[in-house]
Structure 1
Amino acid sequence: MSFADLGLSNELLQAVETAGYTEPTPIQAQTIPPVLMMKDIIGIAQTGTGKTAAFVLPMIDILGHGRRRALMPRSLILEPTRELAAQVAENFEKYGKNHDLKMALLIGGVQMGDQLKALSAGVDVLIATPGRLMDLFERGKIMLTGCELLVIDEADRMLDMGFIPDIETICSKLPANRQTLLFSATMPPVIKKLADRFLTNPKYIEVARPASNNTSIVQHKVAVPSRKKREVLRELLKTDNVTTAIVFANRKTTVRELAKSLKSYGFSAGEIHGDMDQASRNAELERFKAGEISILCASDVAARGLDVKGVSHVFNFDTPWHPDDYVHRIGRTGRGGATGRAFTFVAPEDAEAIANVEKLTGGPIPIYELGLGDTAEAHEEKPARAAKPAREEKPRREPRARREAPAKTEAAEPREVAEQPEAAPKREERPARTARRQPRAEDPRREVRAETPAPSAPASAPASSRGGRRRDAEPVARDDGSWNGPVPNFLHVSAL
């Protein structure tokens, strides 16, 4: 089947041929004819299946006849992210170059002046994110009563981002007799309820998941501890014939740190995440598309709608928390008939997340065994290091305990009895110091000091004074059998 068999105009077929496409994808072949017949559509398709062209191509032919009016877009395409909205705008420019159609991009992060100017001139196609559209609608800057065709793209992603209430409000402001196309990767109950409410007798179209049946993407999972992820990533980037790669992480901080780390090791890396303003994100994407950088570190904000030709590898630095994000991430490679490789790093704490991914894709993802620096060895390193200190520290504690025990029970240890004589001489030194004090008392100079003030003592101080007691105490303290004090009167005996 060719595009000519789908009922497209010659001008559109010429633009498709110029873009290098000859055969439609399954979603395009099943969607384009009923859209041209003005039927509502529910399309269940993943990114990478050609879903965008499936609604852009018939819209160009439908809108090719009609008149534009100021502030009243003729058609509306709702996208969950700025990147995906910009991607759809590029498709309109590429395929609609032979048609006189005006398009406006209504997204956050850019100045509103140019957007309002385009709306005032009248547009055939308005591509918008729900937040910015609601902002302008509440200000009275846009009217939706002239919208003939509505496209809700990535409806399940809209649900994840909390846009469903905004979408319900927008749908209620549109004409009841419009044509509505709803595309989603999955069909949760909330999306099913939304479709039942705002679509009329829709045609249901579902194509195979690229994650399970697209043989152009070779998928692998790598068992690796969290602390070894960067090392393993660098090894794969060096050895797996990587030309261009997108590295996905779950957190914005991880994206920033990873890009900085890769640059420090000499890799040509850039980053894109939600904390960057729209101008910076666009500039980084253009650098990646132009080949100025070969590695793009990204959060899930870039997982959907990022269409870059020639991406050879996708690395899930973190196992995605939501299984659907896995499908959209790896869909960045293996596009347009090219082949690609996808590696998912699985840490021990990611067991549940990877199980949910494999359940969604319909089978186990093959394990990739690294050559040098095998991840299996990385798993063994952790227990080995933990075991060494445990065996070496125990013998060190036991001698310390034995040395401390004798201090508490001196009599119980025979070793301490043997050690006592070593301490004995130190105790015997004390009498020696006492003996040295006694001869000092016999020093003649000391006796002179003791005897000289004695006769004047009663006159100068009472006998009970502190000085008198000290002088009287010295003779009593002596134990040499002699009396050196003053001679009592009763001992004075006359010679007669």
Structure 2
Amino acid sequence: MTKFSDLKLDPSVLKAIAAAGYEMPTPIQAGAIPPALEGRDVLGIAQTGTGKTASFVLPMITLLGRGRARARMPRSLVLCPTRELAAQVAENFDTYAQHTRLTKALLIGGVSFGEQDKLIDRGVDVLIATPGRLLDHFERGKLLLTGVQIMVVDEADRMLDMGFIPDIERIFQLTPFTRQTLFFSATMAPEIERITDTFLHAPERIEVARQATASETIAQKLVELAPTRRDLAAKQKRDLLRALIDAEGPETENGGLKNAIIFCNRKTDVDILAKSLAKHGYDAAPIHGDLDQSHRTRTLESFREGKLKFLIASDVAARGLDIPAVSHVFNYDLPSHAEDYVHRIGRTGRAGRLGSAFSIATPSDDKYLAAIENLVKQPLPRAPLPEGFTLSENDRNAGREERRPGRDKGRGRRREEDRREPREDRAPEPQREAPAAEERREPAREEKREARREDRRDHGRDRRGGRDDHHRGPAVVGMGDHVPEFMLVELRRALASVANDNGAIPEKPVEAASPAKAEASADKPRRSRNRRKRAEDRSESASPEAAAVEALGESAPQIAAVQPDAVEPAADVSPVDQPVIEPAAEDAPRPKRTRRKKAEPETDGAPAAEPAAKPKRTRRAKSDAAVEPAPDAVAEDAPKPKRTRRKKADEVPVAASQDSADA
């Protein structure tokens, strides 16, 4: 029989093992420690609860006894999928390395970076971390992995389930090629085999038990429950769980329930179940990934010390947790991954102790149950419902009650003849009123229906445009009810109202009433006083309506834009001088500044202002021809662009100013 003293371990390690009370190694320890001490890669496959942690911690302490750690460069690295498992590995390291001078650091989430950075800066021999927090330190430049001599991956199949495989591959690439790799897992999925083939070099494969098999010391039982209704399944499962706990009874010498871990698939179910058990007087507390790390640590320590009896957990507590005294495990939900079933029930029956595992299954869990039985290669033993367990009267009636006819109308769930059948569980319908009272109410109901029809007809007529408010004029099409009020008022009425308010029609005409003036303002913004005087003289013959438009101010162009035919042209006005109201350009002042700057020439001496104005007078006279056709303007034809003529005209004053300066 192999003993720890036969495995060539360091004497300080053997001393710590003896102090812990161990003499004989487990099969996985006896198979993995010798090749690990030789410096070879190890691939260990064993069921949970067989001592895989000590199988890599003991040889690691022996190999790291010679050497010294450097700052930010750990000598060994241990990767764990969960914080609890990493903390457990750190506790095992403290136990077996208590007689050595090796140092360690634990890098997990939920702890501040500052304390962890201080430990790394001092230099550590063993670095125990989760993949996410390890990469966080590396990306911050606080950690170097080029000095790693031994790398351990614990619970690799759990790494796969949690999505850590890409992180594991990246960490492997950051470590030296000459490292020693120890790889441990309870199952070997195809993705894990690919990683081992890529990063392990001729590993020593140790498989002490068939993959995904439960310990023989665990009594497995499956309790099937058929809920009366789908929405009552959770409530009835909680009732069944309490009945199973009560049926096991308190702890005695011959057995009984000492403590238990109850597993749920969802975190919300963990909280709900913990509150339900606490409400019914059971000592229960939840633990899952959404809780703070300090809260999770306190809950787990209370359960280990026996202060807490029921631990309601998600799969975060299903892997690697070493709590030797767990007597029962309850699967409130069957796991969606078959491998998780082996890990869950492996929390009990550890180190040769006896344990019990109960699982609750409903008809919706048939596919999960088939996958579990296919994995373990045997059907799960069925157990009857506990004695005295019966569904409540409300739950039994809830499953037999039929839907009310009014809610099933039009859904095709019940036939018409079934709806007409009387139901015994319903109260008798009230008797109908006398026919005379019904006849008296009929005319009033008919009047109300007729009024509602008339309202609908009026509403539809209003939507088609048939409005009754004639004072507002015809409806504006395409703008809806948010049209401004002034756009719905007729122009002549607005002009009359302005004349009545002022007492007389304003004498100041509208400058924009003349199309020639609007065209001239667009072509040449700058005007002289004589030009403005002539425009005022021509506009005196405009109609009184144009004068009223001038009194409206800036709103006159907008009103004209809505109803341009509201103002009729005078009979004695020619088509050229006919006033047409157009909207004034909002950005009219902008071209004035631009053209004024371009029109000013730059010379060596002082700019001559008088010669620069001559071409402008000439061009103004030509533009006036559009309003008052003159013989000279009609005879002169200028098809050239204005810019060309402007440049040629601007050259004359420049030359004249230069001649005057020379003289």
| TM-score band, normalised by shorter chain | 0.7 to 0.9
Alignment map for 1:349-360 (pairs within 5 Å): 349-360=364-375
**Alignment check: 8 A CA contact 1:81 1:301 kept:** yes
Match for residue 234 of structure 1?
A: 242
**Alignment check: 8 A CA contact 1:312 1:333 kept:** yes
Mapped partners of 1:308, 1:130: distance in 2:
24
| Shift of residue 308, structure 1, vs aligned partner | 1.2
Q: 1:395 aligns with which of 422, 426, 429?
A: 422
Letter in 1 for 2:332: F
Match for residue 298 of structure 1?
A: 313
1:78-122 deviation digits (Å, cap 9, x = unpaired): 111111100100110111111111010011111111111111111
The structure-2 alpha-carbon separation of the partners of 1:223 and 1:32, relative to structure 1 and needing over 3 Å to count, comes to same
The structure-2 alpha-carbon separation of the partners of 1:321 and 1:147, relative to structure 1 and needing over 3 Å to count, comes to same
Q: State the identity %.
A: 54
Alignment map for 1:115-194 (pairs within 5 Å): 115-194=116-195
Mapped partners of 2:378, 2:312: distance in 1:
27
Q: 2:302 aligns with which of 261, 282, 287?
A: 287
**Alignment check: 8 A CA contact 1:311 1:340 kept:** yes
Letter in 1 for 2:264: A
Match for residue 337 of structure 2?
A: 322
Match for residue 204 of structure 1?
A: 205
Mapped partners of 1:376, 1:253: distance in 2:
24
Does structure 1 residue 348 correspond to structure 2 residue 385?
A: no
**Alignment check: 8 A CA contact 2:214 2:346 kept:** no
1:428-456 deviation digits (Å, cap 9, x = unpaired): xxxxxxxxxxxxxxxxxxxxxxxxxxxxx
**Alignment check: 8 A CA contact 1:77 1:152 kept:** yes
The structure-2 alpha-carbon separation of the partners of 1:108 and 1:30, relative to structure 1 and needing over 3 Å to count, comes to same
Normalised by the length of structure 1, the TM-score is 0.77
Normalised by the length of structure 2, the TM-score is 0.58
Of 129-138 and 159-168, more deviation after overlay is shown by 159-168
Mapped partners of 2:218, 2:403: distance in 1:
43
| Shift of residue 65, structure 1, vs aligned partner | 1.2
Match for residue 49 of structure 1?
A: 50
Match for residue 5 of structure 1?
A: 6
Mapped partners of 1:283, 1:149: distance in 2:
32
Match for residue 370 of structure 1?
A: 385
Mapped partners of 1:392, 1:239: distance in 2:
45
Mapped partners of 2:244, 2:187: distance in 1:
32
**Alignment check: 8 A CA contact 1:69 1:122 kept:** yes
The structure-2 alpha-carbon separation of the partners of 1:237 and 1:138, relative to structure 1 and needing over 3 Å to count, comes to same
Match for residue 274 of structure 2?
A: 259
1:49-76 deviation digits (Å, cap 9, x = unpaired): 1111111111111111111111000000
Letter in 2 for 1:306: L
Mapped partners of 1:145, 1:221: distance in 2:
50
| Shift of residue 211, structure 1, vs aligned partner | 6.3
Match for residue 260 of structure 2?
A: 245
The structure-2 alpha-carbon separation of the partners of 1:132 and 1:388, relative to structure 1 and needing over 3 Å to count, comes to closer
Alignment map for 1:89-104 (pairs within 5 Å): 89-104=90-105
> Cα RMSD between the aligned structures?
2.9
**Alignment check: 8 A CA contact 1:220 1:367 kept:** yes
Mapped partners of 1:198, 1:261: distance in 2:
48
Letter in 2 for 1:232: L
| Count of equivalent residues | 408
Mapped partners of 2:238, 2:185: distance in 1:
34
The structure-2 alpha-carbon separation of the partners of 1:61 and 1:24, relative to structure 1 and needing over 3 Å to count, comes to same
Mapped partners of 1:375, 1:305: distance in 2:
37
Letter in 2 for 1:154: E
Letter in 1 for 2:260: A
| Shift of residue 370, structure 1, vs aligned partner | 2.8
| Shift of residue 260, structure 1, vs aligned partner | 0.6
The structure-2 alpha-carbon separation of the partners of 1:215 and 1:393, relative to structure 1 and needing over 3 Å to count, comes to farther
Mapped partners of 2:161, 2:399: distance in 1:
42
**Alignment check: 8 A CA contact 1:273 1:299 kept:** yes
Letter in 2 for 1:236: L
Letter in 2 for 1:122: G
Q: Describe the SS at the equivalent of 2:49.
A: coil
Unaligned runs of 5+ in 1: 408-418, 427-496
Q: Kindly report structure 1 stretches of 4+ aligned residues shifted beyond 4 Å.
A: 374-378, 380-384, 386-393
The structure-2 alpha-carbon separation of the partners of 1:382 and 1:193, relative to structure 1 and needing over 3 Å to count, comes to farther
Unaligned runs of 5+ in 2: 228-232, 249-255, 405-413, 440-663
| Shift of residue 371, structure 1, vs aligned partner | 3.5
**Alignment check: 8 A CA contact 2:265 2:315 kept:** yes
The structure-2 alpha-carbon separation of the partners of 1:363 and 1:121, relative to structure 1 and needing over 3 Å to count, comes to same
Letter in 1 for 2:49: G
Does structure 1 residue 385 correspond to structure 2 residue 400?
A: yes
Say which structure, 1 or 2, has more relative contact order (CA 8 Å, 6+ apart): 1
The structure-2 alpha-carbon separation of the partners of 1:266 and 1:36, relative to structure 1 and needing over 3 Å to count, comes to same
Mapped partners of 2:170, 2:423: distance in 1:
73
**Alignment check: 8 A CA contact 1:210 1:331 kept:** no
| Shift of residue 289, structure 1, vs aligned partner | 1.2
Match for residue 58 of structure 1?
A: 59
**Alignment check: 8 A CA contact 1:9 1:61 kept:** yes
